Amino acid sequence: MDIIAHPSESAAKRLLVEAGLPAADITAKHLQDFFFCGSGPDLEGLVGLELYGEVALLRSLAVATRRQGSGLGSRLVEHAEHYARDRGVKSLYLLTMTAEAFFLRRGYARLPRESAPEAIRNTKEFGGICPLSSAFMVKRLWSQPL
Ligand SMILES: CC(C)(COP(=O)(O)OP(=O)(O)OC[C@H]1O[C@@H](n2cnc3c(N)ncnc32)[C@H](O)[C@@H]1OP(=O)(O)O)[C@@H](O)C(=O)NCCC(=O)NCCS
């Protein structure tokens, strides 16, 4: 299944609401770095990035219930990681209430919230949308040569 950039705002928000994830803050600018799969009005999967130079926030990962468990979530995360790496991102952060184990198995590690870089602390997800009890996680996309 193809992964395509720039979903429509209404379709993206509909899937996020169905998945119980925040959607209210999403603007047209965010959607430039969002990716989706599925055709027609109902998306099958969605993932988004907020890029801030060498750091980025991965957010809005959702797979429609009928398509869960077939590898789509993993493929969307890999796609977002490649896209971020190609744009010079070295550390990819996220907050999650529901999918900590999923991300641990995909190379993310939990971090204390206090260690968040300023650009990530200033995002709406970090600043209020995601509850304080969310797991804060990072994956390093780049390692220094030995
Ligand atoms: C988290 C989520 C994106 C995963 O998407 P997915 O397409 O089901 O992911 P995958 O199929 O790639 O992998 C799902 C994992 O669950 C396992 N699984 C098996 N059967 C499953 C099923 N029926 N449903 C879901 N997962 C199943 C898979 O084996 C895989 O396990 P692994 O982590 O050991 O590899 C999806 O469950 C979702 O949209 N959840 C609601 C929104 C959410 O919590 N998003 C994360 C916010 S940060």
Summarize pLDDT for 78-126 with one digit per residue, the tens. Answer: 999 999 999 999 999 999 999 999 999 999 999 999 999 999 999 988 8
Q: Measured between alpha carbons, how far is 37 from 75 in angstroms, rounded to an integer? A: 10
pTM for the complete prediction?
A: 0.93
CA of 72 to the centre of ligand 1 (A): 8
Question: Cβ(94)–Cβ(58) under 8 Å?
Answer: yes
Q: pLDDT at residue 62 above 90?
A: yes
Continuous H helices in the chain = 9-18, 28-31, 72-86, 100-104, 118-121, 124
Quickly tell me which residue has 């803050």 as its tokens: 25
The atom number, within ligand 1, closest to the CA of 72 reads 7
Q: Choose one of 15, 58, 59, 63 to mutate for the ligand 1 pocket test, by most ligand atoms within 8 angstroms of C-beta.
A: 63
Question: Cβ(37)–Cβ(68) under 8 Å?
Answer: no
Question: Cβ(63)–Cβ(44) under 8 Å?
Answer: yes
Written as six digits, the tokens of 104 are 């641990």
Q: Please compute Rg for the chain using Cα positions.
A: 14
What is the pLDDT, as a whole number, of residue 144?
58
Domains of the chain: 4-140 (3.40.630.30)
Confidence of residue 131 (pLDDT cuts 50, 70, 90): confident
CA of 65 to the centre of ligand 1 (A): 9
What is the pLDDT, as a whole number, of residue 143?
66
